[in-house]
A and B are shown apart, each in its own frame.
Chain A
Amino acid sequence: MSNDKPRLLEMKNIQKDFFGNQVLTDINLSVDEGEVVGLVGENGAGKSTLMRILFGADMIRETGGYGGDVVLEGKTVRFSSPFDAIAAGIGMVHQEFSLIPGFTTTENILLNREPTKKSVVHDIFGPRMNTLNRSEMDERAANAIEMMGVSVDRKMYINEMPVGHKQFTEIARELSKDQLKLLILDEPTAVLTEKEAEALLASIRGMSERGIAVIFITHRLQEILSVCDKVVVMRDGRVVSEKAAKDTNVAEITRQMVGRSVETSSAAPHDEEAEKERKTILKVDRLWVDMPGEIVRDVSFEVKEGEILGIGGLAGQGKLGIPNGIMGLYQAGGTVTFEGKQIPLNSPRQCLDSSFAFVSEDRRGVGLLLEESLEWNIAFPAMQIQNRFLRNYLGGLIKWRDEKAIKEITDKYIDELAIKCTSSKQKAKELSGGNQQKVCLAKAFALNPRLLFVSEPTRGIDVGAKALVLEALKKFNRESGVTIVVVSSELEELRQSCDRIAIVSGGRIAGILPASASVEDLGTLMLSQVI
């Protein structure tokens, strides 16, 4: 490497916090021309935030900008929008497709960059009245597709295409930009079949030969090792390792990704004997759930009476689909048996009648009546489903709310869960995230369920509240003997509070391990069938 030529990209001492919550600390990352850099890390490690900074995303600026410098070809840059980044030669392919369904491949590749022919009314109405130059569009699309080295039908409409081809169309769009120097691929192989993924890896090598640098984000570690020059591992907002791909291996990367020191975690003691004696309370057989972004395929597992079962896995792998599907919030199929009785799917009411309860990950959307008081929030489901907190008059013809009982139970939970509020009459939307989560739990507890699903109980709440929420769940389990299924992205938290942990990967159960299993084993399972 010549010393006089500056590196293509250098990110120096990048810092980022979201309202005091540090998510990136002192990140240094450099990329050379034509280099392929693999970026790996668990969800929430800060990969996406880092790439957003590089790409000039609006949300970074809206949340107070970032610290440190991004240096592109020797010049410090500070993009004020993604369009600046694109102009500077950075391209990004996002996880979600950004394609127009009713347009052809060609039209999508050249979206808003169509070559035009000057038309007669150009001088009056401006360049937007020029007609499209279809033959040149075709040519340029063909060139871009050829650069990838895969074959994609240029005339096919996006909505008739297999997902793999959509992904290729997105990449071709970036490649068709002449100024492209650095391409960021955010989990591009997640939706590809094995064969398509191979083709993509080959095309990444091809791009790098043409001098285009690639930052490649994926959970498939094999791919990283086979295509990248350098592997950068991030954890908790820091770069924990930066190594040449040939000097590392899957096991090492996995350890670096999940590797908190094993001694510090307090895995619950596991009693094998007691485990065997417990009887099965819930049996799920061949469940599928069509929850967009969290599709579940052919999942079977059993839950023992009185245990806390954790369901873990990376985002988008289907762990959230399991409780949402069983509770009937998304279309599902398969059989669910509770205490020997089959529970019909796609019917939330039946689930609730069978004394299931569900604390949704979507607190504000599904979990709470934001405009109502805490009393209402906590008592409403019990009132609605079990006819509690009601006083009957005229032999049940008229039902009135029992305000006194409602206040009593609300105060009890406010006290028990240490919900910070001005009174039991305060509106739910006025509480902080952590306290809202506690209200959601109280609401579920008030139903006196036999089986409780809790989805992402600690998402977006601070450390203190986290501990309290987990403690409340454990206490509820111990004292009322309620069986609990906890779904969470945070492995550590599952290891602390659960008896067993099921790991979901690629929409399927990759394995069920006792909570005392090592972080490495769980991490390996998490990545085993990633799609």
Chain B
Amino acid sequence: MNKKTNIVGLLQRSSVPIMFVIICALCIPIAGLSPSYLINEIVTRMGRNSFLILSLLVPIMAGMGLNFGMTLGAMAGEIGLILVSDWQIVGIPGMVLAMIISVPNSVLLGFFCGKILNMAKGREMITSYIISYFMNGVYQLVVLYLMGSIIPIAHTSIKLPRGYGIRNTVSLLSMRQKLDNLIPLTIRGVKIPVMTFIIIALLCLVIIWFRRTKLGQDMRAVGQDLEVARDAGINVERTRILSVIISTVLAGIGMVIYLQNMGNIATYSSHSQIGMFCIAALLVGGASVDKASIGNVFLGVVLFHLMFIVAPRAGAYITGDSMIGEYFRVFVSYAVITVALIMYETNKRRAKSLAGAQLAAEQEAQK
């Protein structure tokens, strides 16, 4: 009985990844892409996205759910990159400088976001989502009006013709894949971004180490029961704010890695969907609102992006319309988030009705 329920439970918990394995398995043959192309793409995207998705883990640990606060970090990363490319600092030094510039901004934004989320306990996900929209407005104000007028921007290549504001696209040609190619390695035609992977591996180690620190333990305690943690003398509010700050700082650095791989910044849209795609990928990897592991991150990156690559092709092949793929991507991202949230609620409800059933069974047993 117990073993059986264990298997059923495991299937229920991993129903989202299983669903995606099936979708991918169906789409791959239809898409007709060569294996080496697929592997190349997956490896590239793992390098591009993993760091960003890993930044989501810390707030989940602290019980703040899937946190769109990372979007704020992404904005800070973009501002760093815009400034650095105006100063014409190229290559790896430019990237490092952009990361350094992003950190204070990320800390500030994370602190602001954490403060607000402390006022909206239990509704962190939707609140952080709305905050990300609000901060997007502030970001646009800075980038569209203040840069070039108050914040000095020298180069016309990134400035709008009217004299202030940043162009829609900022080229990062000078840094393009500099990190990925720092240690060149190609195995059977698959290009491996070795340095990026090393950095990601380092972050994983840091996260594992972090879980074992006092702060990590406090975050887990706060995440599981706020009141108990408070009674034990843990400064709950501070701990929660710290978790958001760590997340935004990591997201800022992750965004620089992401954009160096892309090779250009879509100034007004790069950050806006990154939060949702990262959260969707994490959920596809089998994470839930209150539980996520490093394993979920990598499984999620592979499955979500495999679908990203093959679904448009498969869609185009079946319908003859290439737009269907783009539609499918967005549709699936939202669907995944919705399904994961519904499953979280039903699991809670199921646990509740079990308590009643147990009471009835006890009574029967006594007769």
Q: What residues of chain A have their CB less than 8 Å away from a CB belonging to chain B?
A: 82-83, 98-103, 107, 111-114, 116, 119, 127-132, 286, 288, 290, 295, 297-298, 331-333
* Interface hits, B217-233 → A, CB 8 Å: 217-218, 220-221, 224-225, 227-229, 231-233
List chain B residues, Cβ under 8 A from A127: 214
- Distance, CA A423 to CA B356, complexed state (A): 45
Q: Which of B215, B355, B366 contacts A128 (CB 8 A)?
A: B215
Q: Which residues of A contact B353 (CB under 8 A)?
A: 331
Chain B minimum-CB-distance residue to A507: B359
B323-367 contacts to A, CB under 8 A, are 352-353, 355-356, 359-360, 362-363, 366
CA gap between A354 and B179 in the complex, in Å? 74
Contact with A along B186-227 (1 / 0, CB 8 A): 000000000000000000000001001111011011001101
Q: With contacts A102-B220, A107-B217, A128-B213 known, what are 9 further pairs, Cβ within 8 A?
A: A100-B221, A101-B225, A102-B224, A111-B232, A128-B214, A128-B215, A288-B363, A295-B359, A297-B363
Asked, given contacts A130-B214, A288-B363, whether A112 binds B224 with beta carbons under 8 Å apart, the answer is no
Q: Least Cβ distance of B243 to chain A in Å?
A: 12
B135: interface (CB < 8 Å): no
**Residue B234 at the A interface, CB < 8 A?**
yes
Min CB–CB distance A111 → chain B (angstroms): 4
User: What is the total of A-B residue contacts with beta carbons within 8 Å?
Assistant: 77
A119 and B366 CA atoms in complex are apart in Å by: 56
Out of A99, A129, A132, A297, name the residue touching B359 (CB < 8 Å).
A297
Chain A residues in 8 Å Cβ range of B233:
83, 112
How far is A316 from B161 in the complex, measured between Cα atoms in Å? 74
Q: In the complex, what residues of A have CB within 8 A of residue B366's CB? A: 298
Cα–Cα, bound, A128→B246 (Å): 14
Q: How far, in angstroms, from A107 to B224 measured CA to CA in the complex?
A: 13
Given contacts A131-B209, A132-B212, contact A111 B225 (CB under 8 A): no
Q: Could you say which of A102, A132, A290 contacts B214, with CB atoms under 8 Å apart?
A: A132
Question: CB-CB < 8 A to B234: which residues of A?
Answer: 112
11 A-B pairs with C-beta separation under 8 A:
A82-B231, A101-B225, A102-B220, A112-B218, A112-B221, A288-B359, A288-B360, A288-B363, A290-B356, A333-B356, A333-B359
Give Cα distance in the complex from A384 to B152, angstroms: 67
Question: Given known contacts A100-B225, A112-B232, is B363 in contact with A131 (CB within 8 Å)?
Answer: no
Q: Mark B94-126, 1 if CB is under 8 A from A, else 0.
A: 000000000000000000000000000000000
Which of A103, A128, A129, A331 touches B224 (beta carbons < 8 Å)?
A103
**Residue contact A98 to B231, C-beta cutoff 8 Å:** yes
Within 8 A of A (CB), among B232-248: 232-234
Q: CA A288 – CA B361 in complex, angstroms?
A: 10
Q: In the assembly, what is the distance between CA of A398 and CA of B359, in Å?
A: 46
Minimum CB–CB distance for B164 against chain A, Å:
39
Q: B residues near A, CB below 8 A?
A: 209, 212-215, 217-218, 220-221, 224-225, 227-229, 231-234, 352-353, 355-356, 359-360, 362-363, 366
Complex contacts, B217 vs chain A, CB 8 Å = 107, 114, 132
Cβ–Cβ contact B214 & A103, under 8 A? no
A299 (CB) vs chain B CBs: closest residue: B363
User: B57: shortest Cβ distance to chain A, in Å?
Assistant: 16
Residues of B within 8 A of A116 (CB): 213-214
Contact of B356 among A99, A102, A331 (CB under 8 A): A331
Q: Would A98 and B228 be within 8 Å (CB), given that A103-B220, A128-B213, A131-B213 are in contact?
A: yes
Which residues on the B side are within 8 Å of A101 (C-beta)? 224-225
The complex places the Cα of A100 from the Cα of B227 at a distance, in Å, of 10
- Which listed residue (B213, B225, B227, B363) contacts A129, Cβ 8 A? B213
Known contacts A103-B221, A112-B234, A331-B356; is A132 also within 8 Å of B213 by CB?
A: yes
Across chains A and B, which 10 residue pairs bring their CB atoms closest together, nearest first?
A128-B215, A331-B356, A112-B232, A290-B356, A111-B232, A333-B360, A100-B224, A128-B214, A98-B228, A131-B212
Instruction: State in angstroms the CA–CA spacing of A116 and B353 once bound together.
Output: 41
Query: Considering residues A102, A103, A128, which has the most beta carbons from chain B within 10 angstroms of its beta carbon?
Result: A128
A290 touches B359 (CB 8 A): yes
Partner of A119, one of B213, B224, B225: B213
Give A103 to B219 CA distance when docked, in angstroms. Answer: 12
Contact B214 A114 (CB under 8 A): yes
Given A98-B232, A100-B229, A333-B360, A130 contacting B213 (CB threshold 8 A):
yes
**Closest residue to A346 on the B side, CB-wise?**
B356
Q: Does B362 lie within 8 Å of A297, measured CB to CB?
A: yes
Point out the residues of chain B lying under 8 angstroms from A333, CB to CB. 356, 359-360, 363
Q: How far is the CA of A102 from the CA of B220 in the complex (A)?
A: 9
**Distance A83 CA – B212 CA, assembled complex (angstroms):** 25
Contact A128 B218 (CB under 8 A): yes
Could you tell me if A298 and B225 are in contact, using CB atoms closer than 8 angstroms? no
CA distance A297 to B225 in the complex (A): 29
**How distant is B82 from chain A, measured CB to nearest CB, in Å?**
29
Q: How far does the Cβ of A191 sit from chain B's closest Cβ, in whole Å? A: 15
Q: Bound complex: CA of A297 vs CA of B209, how far in Å?
A: 48
Task: Give chain A residues whose Cβ lies under 8 Å from the Cβ of B360.
Answer: 288, 333
A132 proximity list for chain B (CB < 8 A): 212-214, 217
Q: In the complex the two chains form, what is the Cα distance from A35 to B329 in whole Å?
A: 70
Q: What chain A residues lie within 8 Å of B363 (beta carbons)?
A: 286, 288, 297-298, 333
Across the two chains, which residue of chain B brings its CB closest to A97? B228
Bound CA span A83–B352, Å: 34
Cα-based distance from A290 to B358 in the complex (angstroms): 10
In angstroms, Cα B360 to Cα A290, docked, is 9
A111 to B218, CA, bound (A): 8
CB distance from A182 to the nearest CB of B (A): 18
Task: Give Cα A268 to B66, complex, Å.
Answer: 61
Closest chain-A Cβ to B144's Cβ sits at a distance in Å of 36
Q: How far is the CA of A112 from the CA of B219 in the complex (A)?
A: 11
Per the bound structure, the CA–CA distance linking A62 and B221 in Å amounts to 27
